Amino acid sequence: MDLISGGLIADAQPLTIVVGSGGVGKTTLAAAMGVLAARSGRDTLVMTFDPSLRLKDALGVGEEAREREVKVSFQAPGSLYASLLDARITFDRLVERYAPDDASRRRILGNRFYQHLSGSLGGILEYMAVERLYEVAAEGRFRQVILDTPPTRQALDFLEAPARIVGFLDSGALRVALKGWFDEEGHLTMAARLGPLGRQAERFLDNVVGLDLLRDMAEFFQAFAPLFEGFRERAQAVEELLRSRRTRFIVVSGPGEERIPDTLFFSRRLEQAGYHLGPTIVNRVHPSFQVQGAPPAADPCRPTGWELLTWLGERDRRGLAALAALVSRRQPLIAVPLLPGEPTDLPSLEALGRLVEERLGEWSRRFAKGAEEEG
């Protein structure tokens, strides 16, 4: 298995997608992996969404990283670049690429429906993220690309979003339905061929959503029509890249028992759908403490630190044990301890990367030993 020999940074898998629920520390781990990869001599890109201000400072990237990859000032054998993902800019870029001529490009970019759509369609950020990953992978400038994913509450949204967006843009149904309704000037024509049902549906639509929106949508879909083919091919290629052996998914989970169902559900879905799973990282695990004779708090709203940390350590231990019992023995599962503070500069990011790598090494040795004893 590549994974076991490969360590945290694996040359056989140049693309890493870090997934997990919101607030579990995905961005920091993605940055830590990037620093580690550059340190080991690989030219690396970290693509992220909304890093905290201090992490942005640590990587030295500002708003200009929305437009292009920005070099992080970091003395290492490999170079480190970072970029911030922006759905609107990526979508605009796609339109520019596939528009057959200037006029159609302008028609789409100036369409009112497109302007709202490109910022607010559910899943668009996720789609644009993998789209950008594909672009970067095709350019071949980097030996390692690490993609931090948007903070969806339901990590599964991330995988379903591309299909939804392509389905929507590729929607023959909408194109056909809206086509007969408006003439070249955008005036409503009677949808005679739909018969009485069509007229009634039309009245209903005007009554509910108003025809302005429909006109904008019809215009958008007509303008977008010449782009569909390119878009569909592109989406297929993106999907293939995500399923290929070159791409692995690292699932990050918060500690504690209530996080386990999410983590497990997501890893299983990824595997069943044919994606390649990298290590699963349970982040910010409280250490276990044995405290004897600490008096319980007099005030329930003020637990003592002894009480609280003992309980948190126990909660996380239970959570990890439950998760370990449920995943395959071949699935690397590593616990990263809660750090005294979030890493917010390059040395502390590197230290975090090394810690994760060390834990993965320990897991591999345990696994090898277990396999040997059985064999």
Partner 1 sequence: MFKSTELYAFCCYSPIPCMDLLAQLSSRQLLVVTGKGGVGKTAVSAVLGRIFAARGKRVLVVEVDPRENLHQMLGMPPTGGDILPAGSRLWVQNLKPRQVLDSVVRERLKLELLVRRVLASPVYHHFVDGAPGLTELAILGHALRLVRGIDKSAPQLDLVILDAPATGHGVRLLASPRLVSEVIRHGAFAVMAGELAEMIADPARCGILAVTQAEEMPVQEVLEMRQALRSQVEKDPEALVVNGLYPPAPEPAGTGEDDELVSLWRRRRLLNERELERLGTEWLGPRLELPQLAMDRGPALTAALQTCLERAAEARAWT
Contacts with partner 1: how many residues (CB under 8 A)?
A: 67
Token pair of 249, please? 């998914």
128 vs 86, 115, 149, 235, CA distance in Å? Answer: 8, 15, 11, 11
Among 12, 64, 289, 322, binds partner 1 (CB under 8 A): 289
Residue 310 to residue 298: CA distance in whole angstroms: 17
Minimum CB distance to partner 1 smaller for 52 or for 236: 52
Task: State which residue, 78 or 254, has the beta carbon closest to partner 1.
Answer: 254
Task: Based on the shown chain and the rule CB under 8 A, indicate whether residue 348 belongs to the binding site for partner 1.
Answer: no
Using the rule CB under 8 A, is 186 a contact of partner 1?
no
Residue closest to 241 by CA, chosen among 147, 328, 330, 168 = 147
Q: Which is nearer to partner 1, 171 or 244 (CB)?
A: 171
CB of 75 to partner 1, least distance (A): 26
Give SS3 for 253: strand
Neighbouring C-alpha atoms within 13 Å toward the C-beta of 60: 9
Q: At 171, which amino acid appears? A: S
Q: Is 168 in the site for partner 1 (CB under 8 A)?
A: yes
**What's the chain's length in residues?**
375
Residue of 5, 11, 22, 330 that binds partner 1 (CB under 8 A): 22
**The one among 2, 11, 212, 240 contacting partner 1 by CB under 8 A:** 212
Find the part of the chain contacting partner 1 (CB under 8 A) among 4-12, 138-146, 198-206, 231-239.
198-206
252 forms beta bridges with 281
**Residue 113 contacts partner 1 per CB under 8 A:** yes
Looking at residues 247 to 286 of the shown chain, list those that interact with partner 1 (rule: CB under 8 A): 254, 257-258, 262
Per DSSP, the three-state class of 282 is strand
CB within 8 Å of 331: residues ≥ 6 apart: 267, 277, 280
Our finding on whether 300 is near partner 1 (CB under 8 A) is: yes
Q: Looking only at Cα atoms, what is the longest distance across the chain?
A: 84
Does residue 345 belong to the site contacting partner 1 (CB under 8 A)? no
Bridge partners for 17 per DSSP: 147, 249
- Is 296 in contact with 42 (CB distance < 8 Å)? no
Least separation in angstroms between CB 82 and partner 1: 17
Parallel/antiparallel/unpaired status of strands 80-84 and 70-71: antiparallel
Query: Would you count residue 152 as binding partner 1 (CB under 8 A)?
Result: yes
CB of 153 vs partner 1, minimal distance in Å: 5
User: Which helix or strand (DSSP H or E) is residue 284 part of?
Assistant: strand 277-285
By CB under 8 A, residue 209 contacts partner 1: yes
Q: Which of 198, 226, 230, 303 binds partner 1 (CB under 8 A)?
A: 303
Using CA atoms, how far apart are residues 120 and 123, in angstroms rounded to an integer? 9
Amino acid at 230: G
64 binds partner 1 (CB under 8 A): no
Among 116, 179, 232, 365, binds partner 1 (CB under 8 A): 116
Binding residues vs partner 1 (CB under 8 A) = 21-24, 50, 52-54, 112-113, 116-117, 119-122, 151-154, 164, 167-168, 171, 173-174, 177, 197, 200-201, 204-210, 212-213, 216-217, 254, 257-258, 262, 287, 289, 291, 300-312, 315, 338, 340-342, 344
